[in-house]
Amino acid sequence: MGWTVLSRRNRRKSRAEEPGRTPGQEPKMPIVTIQQGPRSVEQKRELVKKVTEAFVEALEVPAESVFVWVQEYQGENWGVAGKLTADR
């Protein structure tokens, strides 16, 4: 496949040349992992929405191809500057 010429000024991309695709391949699927302390469902919903929008804009991929994983850790399971977050 390649370009289908409709006129000199109006060209249409083939399916293989859609953003995020390379010839003979499906779109690359971005997978984003966010590791954080506990947040509310509303905060995570907004975060996932904005991260997806950023990938759609930057990589020109469909939103349906962006997977966002949120991993949450309690304060006793991570630390900063040599101290558990739970002890701060």
DSSP result, the chain: ---EESSSS-EE--GGGSTT--TTSPPP--EEEEEES---HHHHHHHHHHHHHHHHHHH---GGG-EEEEEE--GGG-EETTEEGGG-
Higher-confidence residue: 76 or 14? Answer: 76
38 counts as catalytic: no
The pLDDT value recorded for residue 84 is 94
- Pairing relation of β-strands 31-36 and 67-72? parallel
Q: Decide if 21 contacts 57 (C-beta within 8 A).
A: no
CA distance linking residue 88 with residue 74, whole number of Å? 13
Q: Does position 48 have pLDDT exceeding 50, yes or no? A: yes
The pLDDT value recorded for residue 9 is 45
pTM over 0.75? The answer is: no
User: Which of 19, 27, 30, 62 does the annotation list as catalytic?
Assistant: 30
